[in-house]
Chains A and B, each alone.
Chain A
Amino acid sequence: MEPKRAETTPPENSEKPIDIALATARGVPLEVLNREIGVEQPPSPFLSPVRLFLNSRGDAALTDRVFAGLMLLAALSIFAIVIFILKELIGSSQLSLHAFGWHFFFRSAWDPVSGDFGALPFIYGTVVSSLLALIIAVPLAVGTAVFITEMCPRILRQPLSFLTELLAAIPSVVYGLWAIFVLLPLLRDHINPFLIKTLGWTGLFSGYNLGNGMLAAGVILAIMILPLISSITREVMTAVPSNQREAALALGATRWEMIRVAVLRNARIGIVGGVILGLGRALGETMAVAMVIGNTPHISKSLLDAGYSMAAVIANEFAEASDDMYRSALIEIGLALFIVTILVNALARMLVWAVTRGAPARAH
């Protein structure tokens, strides 16, 4: 076979355009051919374009490892941020931590002039205004979520959820502005007199009616955390398998009974998670609260009285805090706020995850 072919072969040097296919068939070694045609000659049938491209890229394993490392670094930066915040806050609040110790959180003195500080009025204001916000927002948010996911006509579903999401897009300072010029007059002239007349005997609604104060802060916070609670509630409610609903309806349940037994019962842990998430948002909300709560560090039973919150005192006084002790006391309040919101959010996330983990919503 070999000699016969060799006869028909033209001398390799004589014909310039080498018949490569023929040469391969004859078993000319690859290195020889490559030398003949020149490695840089573009369309080489011996190395597919993909292979050539890949070879020109060098060792993929190394770049892969570098790339994965960079991505990992970015992911780790999220831990770094938390650690950095903690470190900076602890580092800069040393003065106050040493001076007051744990008593800082149980004293109601706030006297920048003599350097005597305690955080109790701010903690009280934050807790009361946030709880008030939850009391107002939770029934409304759950009601809205139930309406949107279970009751409303399909055409209305998208626009309504879009509208509630839009509430979340309004900046805090705009809420504050609106609260100062619309909500406060409304409370002062219409709602507060009514509350004083009907519920004044409880002592919760008494004192000067200026409009601003704990109640105003609670109302504006409620409006602000509504979309968050509502969207999480909707998320966990859609995660409830629809055969649960069908089973309840098949047993003859009315729509409300179906919602109660099949949907709300199954989603309750997630809803609680959403509520706690809303609480976390309310605890840390700053600008709107600072604009309506009255900014007076004292503790009063009446919801109409002015109060102060942890975030608001930082916003109002930190930029002007001139001496070290004052600044360090404010940073300690910030540290407490940070730790509390971290814990509250962690708890809420775990509850929401417990419900939505098995949901098919974001699977492939």
Chain B
Amino acid sequence: MASIAQRPYEYEDRRRSLRILQSHFVTGLAVIATLLVVAPLVAIFAYLLFKGASSLNWAFFTQIPKPVGEVGGGMGNAILGSGIILAIGSVLGVPVGIAAGIYLAEFGRGGRLANAVRFTADVLNGVPSIVVGMSVYALIVMRQKHFSAWSGGIALGIMMIPTITRTTEEMLLLVPHPIREAALGLGLPNWRSVLSITLPTASAGIITGCMLAFARVAGETAPLIFTAFGNAFWSHRLDQPIAALPLQIYIYAISPYDDWHRLAWAGALVLIVLIVVSVALVRYAAGRAVLKGAT
């Protein structure tokens, strides 16, 4: 009795320490989950560096794949091919994506049509890339009766549009209204105000969005299998099958030859480095240009 009188909240105390313990336990679980998520990332990059760097050499960038059995060879043609396909994709996807983003942010704001477009873009973003490749195959390859760099570029361009549209819209919405009003107040027509006032203000974000879309499609393999198809030789003709880095990595990875596995690792490293470097470069350049314009 005395103890209860002395410590009237003993039961509450015990319960509280239990609750605190539970809270710490959950914190521990969250930490473990985070570590488990970061672990594969570290493992993948470690393997890429470890296995890829050891098989990288100058020949990798300058030579074409050697036939089975011959040691050496490289992926020069695949790197060139990827560049060509990505250039076609960007030329198609970037203007359309930015224009659609401008419509959403500047013209259709809040309207029913704009909401429908935004929703469709989000949904289109989740469509499997292989389905896009398939429909481009049905549209172009089946009619022309041969694989081509064109069709690969078009497939990648289609995949870039929804991402660019959504980021452009979000970046334009961040531009403060008074800037637009000032431009219109000076008598600029609306189109001029959009193109030379609003768009440059948001350009850093828009360029980042374009680069993210670019990085995403740069690693795409599935839509290229039956559009660009791959090519074992140098090719820069747009109406012919063309090699691409992700395709070449795929072919080498599932092959039974050790030498090709080495090349696949090297290719994967090059692919990731190319993606990261191009994104970083453009972001850096865009950041500087915008700063220069502002001062």
Tell me if B78 counts as interface (CB < 8 A to partner A): no
Q: How far is the CB of A188 from chain B (nearest CB, A)?
A: 17
Which of B41, B222, B246 contacts A166 (CB under 8 A)? B41
Q: Are A63 and B104 interface neighbours, CB within 8 A?
A: no
Chain B residues within 8 Å of chain A by Cβ, number = 97
Tell me if B182 counts as interface (CB < 8 A to partner A): no
Q: Which residues of B lie under 8 Å from residue A144 when comparing CB positions?
A: 30, 33-34, 37
Contact count band on A = 35 or more
Summarize A's interface: helix, strand, loop or mixed.
Answer: helix
Q: Are B120 and A79 interface neighbours, CB within 8 A?
A: yes
A347 to B66, CA, bound (A): 48
Q: Which residues of B lie under 8 Å from residue A67 when comparing CB positions?
A: 190-191, 194
A91 to B138, CA, bound (A): 9
Which of A81, A148, A169, A174 contacts B34 (CB under 8 A)? A148
Q: Which residues of B lie under 8 Å from residue A152 when comparing CB positions?
A: 34
Tell me if A299 counts as interface (CB < 8 A to partner B): no
Tell me if B221 counts as interface (CB < 8 A to partner A): yes
Q: Are A177 and B27 interface neighbours, CB within 8 A?
A: no
Q: Which residues of B lie under 8 Å from residue A140 when comparing CB positions?
A: 33, 36-37
Q: Scan B10-38; emit 1 where CB is below 8 A from any A CB, else 0.
A: 00000000011011011101111110111
Q: Are B225 and A319 interface neighbours, CB within 8 A?
A: yes
Q: Scan A185-227; emit 1 where CB is below 8 A from any B CB, else 0.
A: 0000000000000000000000000000000000000010010
Q: How far is the CB of A274 from chain B (nearest CB, A)?
A: 12
Q: Which residues of A lie under 8 Å from residue B190 when comparing CB positions?
A: 60, 64, 67-68
Q: Which residues of B lie under 8 Å from residue A50 when comparing CB positions?
A: 186-187
Q: Which residues of B lie under 8 Å from residue A364 when comparing CB positions?
A: 173-174, 176-177
Minimum CB distance partner of A350 in chain B: B119
Tell me if A89 counts as interface (CB < 8 A to partner B): yes
Q: Are A84 and B96 interface neighbours, CB within 8 A?
A: no
Q: How far is the CB of A160 from chain B (nearest CB, A)?
A: 7
Q: Are A346 and B123 interface neighbours, CB within 8 A?
A: yes
Q: Are B189 and A51 interface neighbours, CB within 8 A?
A: no
Minimum CB distance partner of A152 in chain B: B34
> Do A334 and B130 form a contact, CB below 8 Å, given A79-B120, A88-B135?
yes
A74 to B215, CA, bound (A): 22
Q: Which residues of B lie under 8 Å from residue A344 when comparing CB positions?
A: 126
Q: Scan A264-296; emit 1 where CB is below 8 A from any B CB, else 0.
A: 000000000000010011011111000100000
A71 to B104, CA, bound (A): 9
Tell me if B102 counts as interface (CB < 8 A to partner A): yes
Which of A22-30, A32-40, A235-243, A251-259 contacts the other chain?
Answer: A251-259
Q: Scan A135-148; emit 1 where CB is below 8 A from any B CB, else 0.
A: 00001111110111
Identify which of B31, B120, B173, B186 gathers the most chain A CB atoms within 10 Å of its CB. Answer: B120
Which of B56-64, B67-75, B268-276, B286-294 contacts the other chain?
Answer: B268-276
Q: Are A85 and B33 interface neighbours, CB within 8 A?
A: no
Q: How far is the CB of B119 from chain A (nearest CB, A)?
A: 6
Q: Are B103 and A88 interface neighbours, CB within 8 A?
A: no
> Do A318 and B122 form a contact, CB below 8 Å, given A74-B103, A78-B165, A167-B40?
no
> Do A280 and B191 form a contact, CB below 8 Å, given A256-B26, A319-B226?
no
Q: Are A78 and B99 interface neighbours, CB within 8 A?
A: no
CB interface residues, B 92-134, toward A, < 8 Å = 95-97, 99-100, 102-104, 106-108, 113-114, 116-117, 119-132, 134
A71 to B34, CA, bound (A): 43
> Do A177 and B126 form a contact, CB below 8 Å, given A182-B47, A338-B131?
no
Tell me if A75 counts as interface (CB < 8 A to partner B): yes
A302 to B30, CA, bound (A): 31
> Do A147 and B33 form a contact, CB below 8 Å, given A91-B138, A178-B47?
yes
A140 to B100, CA, bound (A): 36
Q: Are A89 and B138 interface neighbours, CB within 8 A?
A: yes
> Do A81 and B23 form a contact, CB below 8 Å, given A163-B41, A174-B48, A178-B44?
no
Minimum CB distance partner of B229 in chain A: A319
Q: Are A318 and B225 interface neighbours, CB within 8 A?
A: yes
Tell me if B206 counts as interface (CB < 8 A to partner A): no
Q: Are A349 and B122 interface neighbours, CB within 8 A?
A: yes
Q: Are B219 and A172 interface neighbours, CB within 8 A?
A: yes
Which of A75, A277, A284 contacts B117 (CB under 8 A)? A75
> Do A75 and B127 form a contact, CB below 8 Å, given A291-B254, A318-B226, A331-B134?
no
Q: Are A171 and B271 interface neighbours, CB within 8 A?
A: yes
Q: Which residues of A lie under 8 Å from residue B219 when comparing CB positions?
A: 170-174
Give the 7 A-B CB pairs with smallest separation, nearest first: A171-B219, A284-B128, A143-B33, A74-B99, A60-B189, A67-B191, A345-B126
**8 other contacts beyond A284-B131, A345-B122, with CB at 8 A cut-off?**
A63-B189, A71-B102, A75-B108, A78-B121, A89-B134, A142-B33, A283-B128, A364-B176
The 18 listed contacts between A and B (C-beta, < 8 Å) are A63-B189, A71-B102, A81-B124, A81-B161, A85-B127, A143-B34, A167-B40, A169-B275, A171-B268, A172-B219, A173-B249, A181-B261, A254-B20, A257-B23, A286-B128, A318-B134, A319-B229, A344-B126
